[in-house]
A and B are shown apart, each in its own frame.
Chain A
Amino acid sequence: MTTTAAPAPHARNKENHRSALLQELLIPVLAVVTGLILGAIVILASGENPLRAYGALFAGSFGAPGDLIEGIQSYAATGETRLLLRAIYPITESLVTATPYIFAGLSVALGFRCGLFNIGAEGQFFIGALCSAFAGYSLTGLPMILHLPLAILAGALGGAVWGMIPGYLKARFGAHEVVNTIMMNWIAFRLSDWLLNGPMKSSGFRPVTPNVLASAEMPRFFPDPLRFNLSFFLALLAAYLVYWFLFKTTLGFEIRSVGANPDAAKYAGMNIIRNFVLVMFLAVGLAGLAGSAQVLGVDHWVGQGFSAGYGFDAIAIALLGKSHPAGVVLAALLFGLLRSGATDMQSIARIPIDIISIIQGMVIIFIAAPDIIRWLYRIRTKKAEDTVLTRGWGK
């Protein structure tokens, strides 16, 4: 330890590894910061005060520290939880918003790892939600311990089966999954239009599904209006499982190999078709779970305005998270905070929520073109071995 001689090889490796990791983290963090700064300029240009806007954004996503202190004091003094609950409402809402982002982001990231570009998460989100809703309201008389897992499973399986179609088309006929998953989106949207106006319509006149039964609802941890529920922890569990699957199993290694270089993988005797279909099955199952978590945890019913574009944002999250499950979780949390805090920003600072989309858009541009960030902050490239996120057309 104390010798000044050259460090042992494994120590140097560790050092290298750490600095590589740092570099890996640096670009996304700087991209987010730069996005926020440019967002501030846009706010300023529209004649508003960016500090006020971001102050409200912070209070709306994390909660105002003053409220929290007040809440704790009131709880300590009187045992009254009302103010305390009100103080933690913003952060719980952020986590609620982040939950479908985590699932959907994992879905896209898993696809990326195998070299598949899945644009269809939005449609898969709807399919998963509809399947979960159906299981949630049509299966009656089951105890929660059976009903809830069944409803979740229905969402995952429904999504997964939906996703096997483009997976198979790609593997069998070489049809590019970008085109197919986009097309599958439209089929999903129109299918849900029809289902909501027909077979799945509730008894009222509104074109929405019936509410899922209480036995299929994700347990919530706080009284209304706090909607924080079990699905957030399921999302974290899913992230861990995806990590374990990708990096600790042989199958995961195969999938990453196919993603890195399909020709080499094929030459090494790996079954490309099986891997494509398997990954689409798992990835789209995750997107289905996103819809499932949203309907069982938050909405309890599905209508045409069910999604705020979770499936599309998921692509950005996977890119921002460098297709690593941990990165995806962080990126999803960021998006959840931004989206959720936007309500306060809109109400208190009177900034349109569209500014959040602008910030997100700019972050994605910087992630997609990291050279801009490197140039802006004068970061020297160490070595050009960026993770291959996805492959282009054809290959």
Chain B
Amino acid sequence: MKKLYFVMTALVVASLVLAACGGGAAGGDALKVGMVTDLGGIDDKSFNATAYAGVQKAIDELGVEGKYLESTQQADYAKNIQQFIDEDTDIIVTVGFLLGVDTATAAKANPETKFAIVDYAYPDCFEGQTEGQDCGSASELPNVLGLTFQIDQAGFLAGYAAAGSTQTGKVATFGGVNIPPVTAFMIGYEKGVMYYNEQNGTSVEVLGWSTEANDGSFTGNFESLDDGRSFAESFVQEGADIIMPVAGPVGLGTAAYCKESGACKVIGVDVDWTVSAPEYSDVVLTSVLKNMNVAVFEAIKAAQDGTFAGGVYVGTLANNGVGLADVNGASDELKAGLDAVRQGIIDGSIATK
């Protein structure tokens, strides 16, 4: 009993002493990289995890000092960014458009610190919005690099692959909410299907999205796996056999439904789902890749080389910022077709949006 008290006291005293010494500065000259996640957490197997893979690559190959802070609520964004600023971090990577305002605010207050924000870019203010509240910055920020992706290019390939793989002549898609980062996938997807029809004289239909109407099917959230399941169920009832859910983890509900019913295949988004969700790999047709790791790595490398400049990085098929994973069970004909389309998109002869 007495001993236990002693141990406890010792622990408390030791931690006080340690705290008094301060955090202790290790490191040296290595470039300091800090990444602030969005709410999904670092091991979301999607957005945050992919972005951090870029940081990890920079740690391994460039010898930078890298770490991350997880956000558990929106109030954490500013706090986590501030934490890195207080630690004199050289480049801060923020993940996701929800951090758009806090990143711009911090970037303006700390012009010496470099920032890269995934899936966002400045200026982002519309007419009538207040800078620093409704939007981040009305002008371009010299110390912020926006990492954006021309995901419609990869979505186009996915649509082409879906149209070339469907048995029922109907393919579907749905989104989390009707916002540009989501609909860009769907716009390319629809275009890709239409291109396939044009080339092959087929009449594959797209359910769940119409670029003409600028509307489609949306779950309204990025969380409910049940929604992913029920959306899949109704699409299958309408005759679709391939579904591309653009709603983060919601899509796992779709994959689960497809696996159980055997009635459909899914197209993964953001990352290769045969890797991130291997339990569903037999129902994953392919995945639309948003290679955030490539973009993040490039941003860090630029900061290391001293070539970092604000502005916008655009990930494309050409620079491997976006891509399409292998298509499950694709015929040689389809593979050849996809290669031709990819080439056409890169040289600009095929428009994807």
Contact = CB atoms under 8 A, between A and B. Distances in A.
A65 B134 contact: no
B84 A347 contact: yes
Contact of B23 (A64, A306, A309): A64
Interface residues of A, number: 58
Contact of B75 (A210, A298, A344, A346): A298
Contact of A58 (B16, B72, B87, B100): B16
B130 A211 contact: yes
Nearest to B89: A347
Contacts of B72: 308-309, 353
B8 A37 contact: yes
Given A299-B74, A308-B72, A346-B70, A51 B15 contact: yes
Most buried by B among A300, A343, A347: A347
Interface in A319-352: 343-344, 346-348, 350, 352
A42 to B, nearest CB: 14
B179 interface: yes
Given A51-B18, A205-B179, A225-B82, A304 B128 contact: no
B74 A306 contact: yes
Nearest to A55: B18
B207 interface: no
A321 B151 CA distance: 51
Contacts of B70: 346, 352-353
Contact of A224 (B4, B8, B34, B109): B109
B73 A308 contact: yes
A304 B248 CA distance: 14
B277 interface: no
Nearest to B125: A204
A14 interface: no
B221 A304 contact: yes
A350 B97 CA distance: 25
Nearest to B182: A205
Interface in A346-379: 346-348, 350, 352-353, 377-378
A33 to B, nearest CB: 6
A300 B126 contact: no
A3 interface: no
B345 to A, nearest CB: 25
Interface string A24-61: 00000000010011001000000000011011111100
B287 interface: no
B11 A206 contact: no
A303 B77 CA distance: 13
Interface in B1-17: 1, 4, 7-8, 11, 14-17
A204 B86 contact: no
B5 to A, nearest CB: 9
Contacts of A40: 11
Contacts of B20: 64-66
A202 B8 contact: no
Contact of B134 (A36, A89, A210, A299): A210
Given A206-B98, A378-B1, A59 B39 contact: no
B128 A203 contact: yes
Contacts of A197: 177-178, 218, 220
A316 to B, nearest CB: 16
Interface in A47-101: 51-52, 54-59, 62, 64-67, 86, 89, 93
A62 B16 CA distance: 11
Contacts of B178: 197
A255 to B, nearest CB: 32
Given A51-B14, A56-B19, A306-B73, 14 more contacts: A37-B11, A40-B11, A51-B18, A58-B15, A89-B82, A194-B220, A205-B179, A205-B180, A210-B133, A225-B82, A300-B133, A304-B222, A308-B72, A347-B69
Instruction: List the 5 shortest-distance A-B pairs measured between CB atoms, nearest first.
Output: A55-B18, A308-B73, A211-B133, A58-B19, A54-B15
Interface of A: 33, 36-37, 40, 51-52, 54-59, 62, 64-67, 86, 89, 93, 190, 193-194, 197, 202-208, 210-211, 224-225, 227, 294, 298-301, 303-309, 343-344, 346-348, 350, 352-353, 377-378
